[in-house]
Structure 1
């Protein structure tokens, strides 16, 4: 046994104090028995008795836990249910007295003798403990050749593997071009690019940049009116104000006049109205020609520099052993389709068409709904496709939203609704059939013409939409043929369905309904006529049903917030009937890991293995939910679909290529706002006209901006990010308020209200180091330098109560488009406007502790609690820093430190444990003053609750009352990208 190593679970410790703390906090029954036995021999006045004394042994302890009654599952249990049997108690009682006397208060410096006594005590305990209690907990998540500990070791080493894998994602990539240089190549170049042709359509005799508007002011008003302005009635009333139009020089005085002006702009794809008769019922819907929409996207000069024309294979190494997947053109599907087309259409340019549909409510009352369908193309990088302001997603249809309540038979109603959906979608999708077979000439924004072949590549929708599209029944997999009672089995076979027999069954409708029904039943699909994908070339609809992170994993933002806290809640949870919590912790941890790994914007074959591994771990441990009576089975389609994530990422790129989150956001612009602009009569006709005009204004605005800037070429940085995004490397920018929250706070007030107990000492320590930034101080030389400075020549500072960072989302493919805010609160207790007390809030943060900016995992970071944010007075700056080239940071923070990350994460749940750090030999918190720029991000700490949380613990005081915490790496995507 090593110097300080637990004989029960072999956990190492740096000191005896750390060893005792491990025994006290461990959930291992053997460790708990060791602790209680050793605890009985510790004198009440020993140096660590305050930490080790249990509440029931210390009536003066100010922490009173709530008595455990019942459990979290609605039942009551006895102590025996939690492994506290009479036999165990007798074992402990019989063991007492067999230990040698441990003189822990001895002044002896003979450390070997001290450790020998400890080893003897532990050995005596091990001799009487049951054989099954001497190792790891009896229930471990894996078995490997009979070695119980192997599963724990594999689980605990996963964070180490993720660190190495994620580090390699940041390396330079190696690109393999498609073998044929003709793939995606232009067939000829037009003389004019699309901007010049657009200019010819809108310019007047004076070559007015803002035509058809007479001036810049009129154009600014038109843009505001259509993109940000009020409704038609309010706009007319505004324009009728006496002298308003004349003073602004507007050429219109009514909202109709404004619309007439907009209608003179070049057309966007127009909506068509169609009536459909199904089962004696007439329905109307509005749709656009999908080919016109593809041409509009392809020909937009805004997108010309970003279009991708041919597939590529990206690798992490020169040997091409580790494949990378991110944009759609790096997936296998595009490469395979390109190879197929090269046989008959050499030089073809593939246009992956991505369709999404989702019914949404447009009113808060009366349950008014709309059914929008969107389209985009995979040639555009995903950071453009997912940004609504870029208009890279086009609304191509409003489908009927009838519920057919007049049809009383539910089966008939469902069948008619399915036929209605597919019939309408056929009007929308059918133009892709000839274009996908024969191709069409497409002119991009720079004037280059290519022979494009639009191919249906992906459908984005939630589970009901997936079943509707594939004509499958509820509780079935929309991808493969897995049996319903095998959906919960990860090892069950679920090969994507062959499209050929399905097409044969669907075409049998010409043989009469009976034959059609039997053929569809035999093929495992619903008898739906006019299935829109029936004749689409090079398309297997079951290989187009993309993963849906929003609905399959998160199930909305509320569940995403629950995921932030879930693991910390179950860590110390005691389960009934003596069940170990290991499997519960491992199952929860695996689900959360899958959720975050699935959102990586760049995947490698290594990260995909990690994705499969955590899914396997969940299935290995999911039985705990059955044992607890929470579930009877896991034949859940959403859980089953997780096994398809890896194959779809390899096929179509990472999941941010096809997320329903983007179309959910589009509902606001294209549906809810459009409906709000109508008079609720014949609303869809009004909505389509409103949307066309809005798109015209946005298109014209982009044209004017390009003319003013004189270029459409993107920055080199954007192009680099598009080809190889710097995964999981967030870039942050500090934003501080112009003026301090409190202009003058005395040192005594800092101590009483902010808790800065060593403010003056920490400040002088910082000043000494800032005056000589290149000098390496020893403890003695630092003490001398601090004494040389003497007293602080001021007694108050200006403080700030908020630190704000804007952070580029580490899961984004480019730093130029995605921002998230990170606010850090540093506020003392106060009273609100009603005189009620508001507790103070001093957030915890992750702080850089060395100058290395290329951190991996927690290396180079340390957790601290921000107590004060302040600036130095100008007089002090002149006195302490007279040299202009040696200056301190503008904003400083006083930090109470937590312990360093000396060891890896805890082996069971893979979170890092931290405790309050104290000055050597003192009970005062270890503190420092550091520049605010050293703060990397805010972090969340789980308090170690134990089986029962003390009543006194609240969010406002738990950081002071609790002494042990776990660093929550599931707070957000930035934290998960950093902490491992």
Structure 2
């Protein structure tokens, strides 16, 4: 008799599966099994893990000091009553029928009042921040050490166990956990997803099931469909805590909604979509094997992660926690109702993914209560209570980090490795008012350093960063009746949420905010306003109206005086042409000030910065500091009346911290409030529109649970190949794009002869010419102003056909003419984070209706093309600029002469050998031949990239009328090459300048 085969079973609960891989998936999804497995691994791995309790003896010897409650009314956490008790009578309506409100559970009872806690008196990690790892075994290279970007030379952490898994599970990535629901059927999912995401009411949605084509669907009614959707797995649960604020007359009860931060971390680390974009250990990146210049890009390339790894020791995986929050209006029509969402992401995931909302790498962790605390009559007490309310809520949300940052937790990561991860607060993304609240400082003070008020306008001085111990000592003095210290240091009387968080110096967490500090702040609110006052509003309008148009560049056709309130997007758009507008004015200090700020601004927006770039940023600040007095005038209202007024502009001072934070956490692209502003759409604006606007937070959470369930199912369908979702970034797609771009024998634009880099795009042209195949030469001469088209075509053909060949080309010859072509560039080898880039080259006339109104403006773009006479040069000097007047090809009966597309170009002279010292811009002018524009015909394949030429306005006759339709590329004859027109052009020109 054959012996029965025993099925694999779980050693924790006894459940059987068909395979051992199935047992592993079962354990990873069963909460009870996960808990028991975690305890088992903790016991097994305790001997190989180094303790993370730093300075324990000193902490035990330090006497505890209880902070007395502040003068403001107390803020207390209380247990939330069950949904069916005291709040049942409210009857909050629910517009989203797919919500499972039973999963929104009350949290555990929290008895002690939040105002009666002990503040720490020392930073246990301060003494070890700069220590290197000692006595590390030599075990070869780090298993995860590989270049994050092309042309970078990484140095792994010396400890080979840094970020390494304790053990591996055999995770079958091709077979994720199956959904036991018809909604996972690839034939049903698209329709069901579409139906549940329709912005219609429930009654209209139910009509779908009465259609003849849907009677045989898996659901016969809307109710059945909703029940099936409610069965979908959701993300981590929501909890509600009540916060009681005692006022002068009554008590106000507020609700804090939050999720478990540990569960969100597990969710991010276990997502298989992030495997190609995740790092578990720090690295140092260099520009060459000599390690002369260090490079900073992602968070794992910064110094902070390296220090934390040294502190935690062997088999530790650092998880940098990135928190962001921002109070925002529900909608402009909401009656001033606001929401205060808090978001969470981790630095292990690449910033390219974190910045993309559809990737769901940044998750909502809570909603802070928003209240004006009108039950507190005294204004000072009300302000202090609002500050304390914010810190109390953040302390509740981040409470698990007080333990997990020291002890760690075992997490099954997406690659199958079980790691001991240590989540540590690394960055808090916020605008300046919120940064001041977080750091417990006055709005007029710097939340990062101890610089006094009378020194903030001096950009050449540096002060130490604020530290936790000094802040807490000052607060203790205040609670004990001595308030002079906090008044001198600009500290608010608030018990901070970060007081007990291990390894956290909050001043080190307040990373740069590109949107509010730089784009909209220093440039939009100050430099732009001051420059307009110096040049004059009319002159600024005149120059912006006549600015030549360029791809993806906003054109201010009505000037800038009509804009009353600048957004960050508008300010950044104007900054791309601002240097060209200001260049050449009769005030050289103004030009220097604009150049230094813009160069600093565009360098800060780059995805990769070397030590050379950081030193250049510091030099930019020193240049601006030397000439900033140009914006001081005792009588002009828009300017500063005294130099000391610079001391009150905290945003300008904040620029002095940028290079420090870049060295600590990498480039600030992934740490900007632009990300938070975009997330508000998905987590505030849209959920708000689904509610009845009465107690909306709970309804918004129900809607978000529904959307999160669909997102998880959609990701599952994509991972299994059942549904292709193009919103998800995949390395395969990137590789496919790269494979089609450019010739195979030249990689990433490198010259075949081993010389300096130059662009080598692939040209895309429509199969059928937009203007037809029978466009006469006369039409191109008259409408496109291709004056010398016929002789230029003849000259070109003579260079490619045998001598003596008959060339029957005349103005009556018909051509195939296209309106535009595209130049597809592969990622730059020196800045691949910018990704593939596409230049549009347009050549078509203005079209109007019967009334003479312009329907579509005409464009004749400027490009760079390579000339054989410059073949031995490098960088920009290797190319010439030319204005494209026509993109065409010879007719079919002349294709024996030349069959490839051609382009008619009006040439410009070679660019200046060096950029102007005052503007850092290259110059050029029209190339003339016998008093006429010099034009040539070249193959379309000779085009290398588009460029933006801007008139040198100071050489233009001030009486010349300029409007948005004026073609200054034809009217004027001298130009600047605008290197700020796009991030791609700025990166290319910066690279060429470094090579030169």
- Whether TM-score is above 0.5 comes out as yes
- Asked if the contact 2:867/2:880 (under 8 Å) is kept, the reply is no
Aligned residue number for residue 260 of structure 1: 227
Aligned residue number for residue 809 of structure 2: 791
Of the structure 1 ranges 830-839 and 547-556, higher mean CA displacement relative to structure 2 is found in 830-839
Alignment of 1:237-636 (within 5 A): 237-247=206-216, 249-254=217-222, 256-279=223-246, 280-342=251-313, 346-365=314-333, 366-405=335-374, 407=376, 409-506=378-475, 513=479, 515=481, 520-521=486-487, 524-529=490-495, 531-555=496-520, 556-574=568-586, 581-626=587-632, 630-631=639-640, 632=642, 633-635=645-647, 636=649
Helix, strand or coil for the counterpart of 2:292? coil
Aligned residue number for residue 894 of structure 1: 904
For each residue in 1:760-797, what CA deviation from the matched residue of structure 2 results, as whole angstroms up to 9, or x when unmatched? 2222333344558xxxxxxxxxxx66x75343596222
CA 475–913 in structure 1, closer or farther in 2 if over 3 Å, else same: same
Alignment of 1:795-814 (within 5 A): 795-804=813-822
CA 559–823 in structure 1, closer or farther in 2 if over 3 Å, else same: same
How many residues align? The count is 762
CA 975–176 in structure 1, closer or farther in 2 if over 3 Å, else same: closer
For each residue in 1:530-561, what CA deviation from the matched residue of structure 2 results, as whole angstroms up to 9, or x when unmatched? x2211110000000000111111111011112
Q: 1:258, CA displacement in angstroms?
A: 3.3
Asked whether 1:934 is paired with 2:946, we answer no
- Asked if the contact 1:942/1:968 (under 8 Å) is kept, the reply is no
Aligned residue number for residue 977 of structure 1: 987
Aligned residue number for residue 968 of structure 1: 978
Asked whether 1:693 is paired with 2:702, we answer no
- Asked if the contact 1:943/1:958 (under 8 Å) is kept, the reply is no
Aligned residue number for residue 920 of structure 2: 910
Q: 1:623, CA displacement in angstroms?
A: 1.5
* In 1, Cα distance between equivalents of 2:892 and 2:417: 61
CA 907–467 in structure 1, closer or farther in 2 if over 3 Å, else same: same
Q: 1:240, CA displacement in angstroms?
A: 4.2
Alignment of 1:702-781 (within 5 A): 702-708=715-721, 714-715=731-732, 736-737=765-766, 739-743=768-772, 744-769=774-799
Aligned residue number for residue 193 of structure 2: 223
Aligned residue number for residue 944 of structure 1: 953
Helix, strand or coil for the counterpart of 1:858? helix
* In 1, Cα distance between equivalents of 2:654 and 2:228: 51
CA 224–358 in structure 1, closer or farther in 2 if over 3 Å, else same: same
* In 1, Cα distance between equivalents of 2:228 and 2:943: 54
* In 2, Cα distance between equivalents of 1:222 and 1:716: 27
For each residue in 1:540-584, what CA deviation from the matched residue of structure 2 results, as whole angstroms up to 9, or x when unmatched? 00000001111111110111122123222323434xxxxxx1111
Aligned residue number for residue 189 of structure 1: 168
Q: 1:525, CA displacement in angstroms?
A: 1.6
Aligned residue number for residue 9 of structure 2: none
* In 1, Cα distance between equivalents of 2:922 and 2:893: 43
Helix, strand or coil for the counterpart of 2:954? coil
Helix, strand or coil for the counterpart of 1:914? strand
CA 853–334 in structure 1, closer or farther in 2 if over 3 Å, else same: farther
Asked whether 1:650 is paired with 2:663, we answer yes
Asked whether 1:864 is paired with 2:882, we answer yes
Structure 1: state its 5+ residue gaps: 1-168, 204-210, 575-580, 773-783, 882-886
* In 1, Cα distance between equivalents of 2:737 and 2:345: 22
- Asked if the contact 2:778/2:811 (under 8 Å) is kept, the reply is no
Q: 1:670, CA displacement in angstroms?
A: 1.9
Aligned residue number for residue 670 of structure 1: 683
For each residue in 1:874-893, what CA deviation from the matched residue of structure 2 results, as whole angstroms up to 9, or x when unmatched? 2222x324xxxxx423xx32
1:875 to 871, 874, 893: 893
CA 375–252 in structure 1, closer or farther in 2 if over 3 Å, else same: farther
Of the structure 1 ranges 389-398 and 259-268, higher mean CA displacement relative to structure 2 is found in 259-268
For each residue in 1:699-735, what CA deviation from the matched residue of structure 2 results, as whole angstroms up to 9, or x when unmatched? 22222222128999945977999xxx99999896655
- Asked if the contact 1:239/1:245 (under 8 Å) is kept, the reply is yes
CA 397–710 in structure 1, closer or farther in 2 if over 3 Å, else same: closer
Q: 1:413, CA displacement in angstroms?
A: 2.7
* In 1, Cα distance between equivalents of 2:737 and 2:907: 39
Structure 2: state its 5+ residue gaps: 1-147, 521-567, 739-747, 751-756
For each residue in 1:377-407, what CA deviation from the matched residue of structure 2 results, as whole angstroms up to 9, or x when unmatched? 1111111111111110001112122233565
Q: 1:922, CA displacement in angstroms?
A: 4.4
Helix, strand or coil for the counterpart of 1:338? helix
CA 735–554 in structure 1, closer or farther in 2 if over 3 Å, else same: farther
* In 2, Cα distance between equivalents of 1:836 and 1:449: 67
Helix, strand or coil for the counterpart of 1:213? helix
CA 836–317 in structure 1, closer or farther in 2 if over 3 Å, else same: closer
2:202 to 211, 216, 233: 233
CA 947–755 in structure 1, closer or farther in 2 if over 3 Å, else same: closer
Q: 1:301, CA displacement in angstroms?
A: 1.4
* In 2, Cα distance between equivalents of 1:442 and 1:397: 22
RMSD: 3.4
* In 2, Cα distance between equivalents of 1:583 and 1:807: 38
TM-score using structure 1 length = 0.72
* In 1, Cα distance between equivalents of 2:622 and 2:839: 34
Alignment of 1:47-86 (within 5 A): none
Helix, strand or coil for the counterpart of 2:864? strand
